[in-house]
């Protein structure tokens, strides 16, 4: 049985749920979950937890990055190129300078209206189900605050349907399709997303990602190594416990800061109100044990992965 993370380089035309189903068949184990959805059209990084690492998904760091292509002059009902065309208006007069003038409006903390065809729930129903039945309007879709840390221009192709290639770094919950749609609206010519590849997600990058073909080949060769359960938790401070404290912690006992006062400085923990919320916990041999929640005077086990006999 595998325990850890596999960062999948998702192929186009399938959902994140499809990826989980495919991995369950390949690995022959059921306990698998993904760390965030990705549109069927999109490709790229999809973190997947396997075995007991599924309990760690909620501790993965925020943040995503994409390479995207935006096509101007086309408006679709899904805000990407897979949807039905609502408006087709060539815009040969559009220039990169005109686009770059308004791009800063889409950086920083912005308010965004998610696409009608999205998995967001409104009154207990998925928006894409309502949209398919024609039961949703723009007024029905609640806007929300998101953060776009950077939009960097990669390339520009002029023409009747000009295309802009960009690299986008953003927080969770940001829809790149909505950025494309709103950018087109701001420029008065309309736009849709024609390509999307996620290059980073929640602590995982393309460099550490595998295609399904690579997973299958390595399984056949008995050489598949999953990423360690603590791979995506590098932003959490770490704490090492001695033998006795390890036994107590793995039994579910809270450990007072005074019990390991000598180690606080080296572990970047200080106790009190400034303590971090969550902490990676290791034994004295640096074996990963799980995650604790730091309170004012102690750490309380939240996820214990390695029981001590």
Mean of the per-residue pLDDT values of the chain = 90
Which of the residue ranges 61-65, 119-123, 171-175, 249-253 would you say has the lowest mean pLDDT? 119-123
pLDDT, residue 275, reads 44
Indicate if 64-201 has the same CATH topology as 4-61+203-220.
yes
Angstrom distance (rounded) from CA 95 to CA 98: 5
Q: DSSP 3-state assignment of 226? A: coil
Q: Give pLDDT tens digits for 98-146.
A: 999 999 999 999 999 988 877 777 777 777 777 787 777 777 788 999 9
- Percentage of the chain beyond pLDDT 70 is 93
CATH class of the domain comprising 4-61+203-220: alpha beta
Closest to 79 (Cα-Cα) out of 117, 23, 110: 117
CATH no., domain 64-201: 3.30.2350.10
Per domain, the residue ranges of the chain are: 4-61+203-220, 64-201, 236-304
CATH of domain 236-304: 2.30.130.10
State the Cα–Cα distance between residues 15 and 55, nearest whole angstrom: 22
pLDDT at residue number 276: 56
Q: What digits encode the pLDDT tens for the residues 204-251?
A: 999 999 999 999 999 999 999 999 999 999 889 898 999 999 999 999
Catalytic residues: 39
Go through 49-81 and write b for each residue having 16 or more CB atoms within 10 A of its CB, e for each that does not. Answer: bbbbbbbbbebbeebbbbbbbbbbbbbbbbbbb
Q: What percent of the chain has pLDDT over 90?
A: 74
Backbone angles phi, psi at 124, to 5 degrees: 80, 5
Q: What is the pLDDT of residue 272?
A: 44
The pLDDT tens digits for 250-308 are 999 999 888 765 555 445 554 444 445 899 999 989 999 999 998 888 899 999 997 65
Q: How confident is the model at residue 70 (pLDDT cuts 50, 70, 90)?
A: very high
Contact between 6 and 50 (Cβ < 8 Å) = yes
């Amino acid at each position: 049985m595998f325990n850890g993370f596999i960062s999948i380089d998702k192929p186009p035309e399938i959902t994140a749920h499809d990826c989980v189903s495919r991995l369950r068949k390949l690995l022959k184990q059921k306990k698998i979950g993904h760390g965030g959805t990705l549109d069927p059209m999109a490709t790229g990084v999809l973190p997947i937890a396997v075995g007991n690492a599924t309990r760690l998904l909620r501790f993965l760091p925020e943040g995503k990055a994409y390479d995207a292509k935006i096509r101007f002059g086309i408006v679709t009902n899904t805000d990407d190129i897979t949807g039905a065309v609502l408006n087709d208006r060539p815009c040969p007069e559009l220039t990169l300078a005109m686009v770059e003038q308004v791009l800063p409006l889409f950086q920083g903390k912005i308010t965004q209206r998610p696409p009608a065809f999205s998995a967001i729930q409104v009154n207990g129903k998925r928006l894409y189900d309502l949209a398919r039945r024609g039961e949703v309007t723009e007024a029905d879709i609640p806007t929300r605050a998101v953060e776009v840390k950077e939009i960097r221009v990669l390339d520009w192709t002029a023409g009747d349907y000009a295309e802009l290639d960009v690299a986008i770094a953003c927080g969770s919950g940001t829809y790149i399709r909505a950025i494309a749609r709103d950018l087109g609206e701001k420029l008065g010519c309309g736009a849709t997303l024609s390509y999307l590849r996620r290059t980073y997600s929640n602590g995982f990058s393309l460099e550490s990602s595998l295609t399904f073909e690579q997973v299958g080949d390595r399984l056949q060769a008995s050489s598949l190594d999953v990423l360690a359960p603590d791979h995506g938790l590098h932003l959490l401070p770490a704490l090492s416990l001695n033998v006795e404290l390890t036994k107590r912690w793995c039994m579910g006992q809270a450990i007072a800061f005074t019990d390991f006062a000598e180690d606080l400085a080296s572990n970047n923990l200080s106790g009190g109100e400034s303590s971090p919320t969550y902490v990676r916990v290791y034994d004295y041999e640096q074996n990963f044990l799980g995650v604790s929640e730091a309170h004012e005077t102690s750490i309380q086990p939240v996820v214990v992965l390695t029981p001590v006999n």
